[in-house]
Structure 1
Amino acid sequence: MFPFLALISLSYAAIVYGQQAGTLTTETHPKLTVQKCSGSNSCTTENHSIVLDSNWRWLHSTSGSNNCYTGNTWDTSLCPDPATCAQNCALDGADYSGTYGITTSGNALTLKFVTNGPYSTNIGSRVYLMDTADSKYQLFNLKNQEFTFDVDMSQLPCGLNGALYFVEMDADGGTSRFSTNKAGAKYGTGYCDTQCPHDIKFINGEANVANWTASPSDPNAGTGQYGSCCNEMDIWEANSQGAAVTPHVCSVQGQTRCSGTQCGDGDQRYDGICDKDGCDFNSWRMGDQTFLGPGKTVDTTKKFTVVTQFYTSNNSTSGTLSEIRRLYVQNGKVIANSKTKISGLSAYDSITDEFCNAQKTAFGDTNSFEKLGGLNVMGQSFDKGMVLVMSVWDDHEAQMLWLDSNYPTNGSASTPGVSRGPCATTSGQPTDLEKNSPGATVIFSNIKYGPIGSTYAH
């Protein structure tokens, strides 16, 4: 994901985070089926579940129900320092549908943007796929494989992001590495990505209370001294007006806590341990404004299938990741990916190191993707195993303009790489979206994975 800040804005303390496991609300993971394929028309159904990220959960004292975090502020008596806070505070179970607008039915997951519960208003959500034993996160290695899902994002306007992606989290949520993390995957702990987000309340089993600063635009979010970094493969970041597929890589393996220059914050964006820009393929940004959107070749007013294929150098799971290909299926028709139409750029239709280097040169962008190892490092991350994430969010930092509008906003739309979608540069304000589009939803369904060519009819 590109600029990542707070994803949440609750009007009371249901949006809090911790490392102990609470007992006031029973945690029951909603069920979700996934298909594992071995060949064309040969798939078996796996019974999985999803778990809500710890960032959205109620955090209270282990001895009662006093909030450890309210609004933008930590309770200084319960959380005077990182270690004491981890001892004093417990995450609790979630009411998935009533509080968070998260529902499942068979192979379909629905994420609602705004949910008005009896005591709170919840904004957005982020969930992870659990393994079939419902004990850890499911790990995926997609080298020489493909990953397929259906998406309905017809109800996602400019400024929202219905995202499906992989990150290199610990399968157990961090419990084996950090003894003070008692909650683990069952309660959605251990998140990381290439933006090295500082809004994570607990990192490495400790509260991120040091130098905590309240967000000026989100009354329930803030940032701490540390960030949580790891490799990230963005399969799908999209709304009804645009979409991008983007690998991001880091110089570290696995979830890593950063501080200072390591995090790549602000003016140090290209000095950190992760590639925050990534190597994106966004059809509109690559010069084809007729390919994806309402009534276009891929019609976003209706459900469609997204297929992503991960080719290796020797066409085996042991090879080096060398190419990421994308295709779509809608109304029974297989649709090839769009081709780049940028002056001076060859007609690429997939992500390779060659494409990434040429794109960075054509757009005048800093090539941190190549600097940090490119597709080879992305493949190494899959070797380790990556966790499936699905979310819906608004963007307090950059209003999602990097996905669906002109970005940076002081650039000319005629400059290659600046125009990324048809949305106005005034769109995407979270307060406007929360007021005017509370019913916005994304539905991910029919998830399949297996050898290339095995997950869709062709």
Structure 2
Amino acid sequence: MFSKTSLLSLLAAGASAQQVGTLTSETHPSMPIQSCSAAGSCTSVSTTVTMDANWRWLHTTEGYTNCYTGNEWNTTICADGATCAANCALDGADYSGTYGVTASSGDLTLKFVTEGSYSTNIGSRLYLMASESKYYMFKLLNKEFTFDVDVSNLPCGLNGALYLVEMDEDGGMAKYSTNKAGAKYGTGYCDTQCPHDIKFIDGEANVEDWTPSSNDANAGSGKYGTCCNEMDLWEANVVSAALTPHVCSVEGQTRCSGTDCGDGDERYSGVCDKDGCDFNSYRMGDQSFYGKGKTVDTSSKFTVVTQFITNDGTDSGTLSEIRRIYVQGGKVIQNSVSKVSGVTDSNSITDAWCNEQKTAFGDTNSFEKLGGLASMGGSLSRGMVLALSVWDDHAVNMLWLDSTYPTDKDATTPGAARGTCETSSGVPSEIETSAASSSVTYGNIKIGAINSTYGA
């Protein structure tokens, strides 16, 4: 619902680039997935992950001078976007030492705060790779996506997000001649928040009108944002979880400026649906379903299944429903059912359900305006990239996920209560110290025909 990028990067080193540096070798950690047939037979696919460009060290092509330090550009090296792209190089990553990312037996663990030799790193975002130079493209109409997750070490204010975005397969390398780094180095990010903190967009540095953040030592915002369709399969911590499709009126990664970005008071005038249509069990009235000791017990690992149902049961049909199933302790657990007055007693997302929810909560229905599930299905048919991340929220402290939000509403107001966290929780300056050792672990990713990837 809010930016996953604006708060997270290296404190000391720079971040993002378009040329390729040679000071640190780039070796992608292994994270194999499985592809499953209708009969439930699964085969392994050799995939890896790469670190998003926004986290990487950005320095001069001929030396060690930072092009970006803290939350500011070196305006001598980066006088404008094109010059910066020519002068600056994006280097390889020390995944465990700098970023707290470790891969083991198909699992990927992301640590929240990592004290490295030269910097303190906050959070991370990685993408699944099909090869050294291309992202793995997921086409999930009439398919399901399954993964294991452990959020037991992810408290209030943090978000372990696993989601799909309609990025270019090569990170924009073919489209933009100034992008020499491509997918190998994690370029080309976009999402429905149209984030302005991405340091390189369309092969150029986002230096124009760059404004350092007032409450984040690492982030700032430039003139441009980068937009695309987004399917939030999983945004969660130990308290709350949300499943949320977001749609845009544009296809693929698109640079925005002005009203099209939907910033501030123009939130509902932009090309993307920033709110989405979210299914958060707590928000939908079932407060006993998800959490420590609850039906889905977040004190231990569990499996999350998301099914993309089409109107005619074919891979070329129109997306008509998104279903959620959990598996834990050998038991298949169907998603919780809506218990909100005015909303159908349902445990899945449909256009009709979204319309009822928006009305019941008094929310603006930009999801319907921008095409709803049919629009989301178009993106799923074209192909989307998997992002795996952990982040904190300098905008509203993640209260939209796990607390009462907006904070000026009573918790009894329909849609306001989203979890049990205090409205005073999630302040980044506090949790980056008190919850520094937090982490999330993802693994056992499977894709395949409906009901082929899981079982008791």
Q: TM-score, normalised by structure 2?
A: 0.99
Match of 2:199 among 189, 198, 201: 201
Please tell me whether the aligned partners of residues 42 and 454 of structure 1 are also in contact (alpha carbons under 8 angstroms): yes
Displacement of 1:221 in angstroms is 0.9
The structure 2 residue matched to 1:184, chosen from 168, 182, 186, is 182
- Asked if 1:457 corresponds to 2:444, the answer is no
Which residue number corresponds to residue 76 of structure 1? 75
Assess if the C-alpha contact under 8 Å between 1:9 and 1:219 holds in 2.
Answer: no
Aligned residue number for residue 7 of structure 1: 7
Q: Aligned to 2:412, which of 411, 414, 432? A: 414
- Counterpart CA distance in 1 for 2:4 and 2:183 is 22
For 1:155, the aligned partner's letter is N
The residue type equivalent to 1:28 in the other structure is T
Q: CA deviation at 1:11?
A: 2.5
CA distance in 2: counterparts of 1:377 and 1:451, whole angstroms? 21
In 2, Cα distance between the equivalents of 1:346 and 1:82?
A: 50
Deviation at 1:359, TM superposition (A): 0.3
In structure 2, the partner of 1:103 is 102
Task: Identify the residue that residue 236 of structure 2 maps to in structure 1.
Answer: 238
Q: Deviations over 1:115-161 (max 9, x none)?
A: 01111110000000000x33200000110000000000000000000
Alignment map for 1:41-440 (pairs within 5 Å): 41-131=40-130, 133-440=131-438
The 3 A distance-change label for structure 1 pair 119 and 183 is same
1:18 — aligned with what?
A: 17
Separation in 1 of the partners of 2:69 and 2:277?
38
Amino acid at match of 2:375: V
Amino acid at match of 1:55: N
Is the CA contact 1:5–1:396 (under 8 Å) kept in the aligned structure 2? Answer: no
| 2:4/2:391 contact within 8 Å kept | no
SS in 1 for 2:32: strand
- CA change 1:5–1:24 in 2 (3 A) is closer
Alpha-carbon shift at residue 5 of structure 1 (Å): 5.0
Deviation at 1:412, TM superposition (A): 1.2
TM-fit CA distance, 1:4:
4.2
Q: Could you say what secondary structure the match of 1:174 adopts? A: coil
Q: CA deviation at 1:344?
A: 2.2
How many pairs does the alignment contain?
456
Per the TM alignment, residue 10 of structure 1 is displaced from its structure 2 partner at its CA by 2.8
Q: In the alignment, is the contact (CA less than 8 A) between 1:27 and 1:93 conserved in 2? A: yes
Unaligned runs of 5+ in 1: none
SS in 2 for 1:32: coil
SS at match of 1:31: coil
SS of the equivalent of 1:369 reads helix
Amino acid at match of 1:92: D
Question: 1:77 Cα deviation (Å)?
Answer: 1.2
Contact 1:288 1:340 in 2 (8 A): yes
* Pairwise CA distance, 1:3: 4.3
Return the alpha-carbon distance in structure 2 between the equivalents of residues 316 and 134 of structure 1. Answer: 32
Q: Is the 8 A contact 2:3 2:195 kept in 1?
A: no
Alpha-carbon separation, structure 2, partners of 1:142 and 1:350: 17
Shift of 1:395: 0.3
Shift in Å at residue 25 of structure 1? 0.6
Q: Look up the equivalent residue of 1:11 and give its one-letter code.
A: L
CA contact (8 A) 1:48 1:134 kept: no
Distance in 2 (CA, whole Å) between partners of 1:55 and 1:408 is 29
65-74 or 253-262, larger mean C-alpha shift: 65-74
Check conservation: 2:240, 2:419, Cα contact below 8 A.
Answer: yes
| % identity of equivalent residues | 67
Contact 1:7 1:125 in 2 (8 A): no
Pairwise CA distance, 1:72: 1.7
Shift of 1:431: 1.1
Amino acid at match of 2:102: T
Aligned residues of 2:163 and 2:230 also touching (Cα < 8 A): yes
| Contact in 1 for aligned 2:34/2:43 (Cα 8 Å) | yes
For structure 2, the 5+ residue unaligned runs are none
**AA aligned opposite 2:19:** Q
- 2:280 partner amino acid: N
2:43 partner SS:
strand
Matched residue type, 1:59: L
CA distance in 2 between partners of 1:95 and 1:437 (Å): 23
Alpha-carbon offset, residue 220 of structure 1 = 1.5
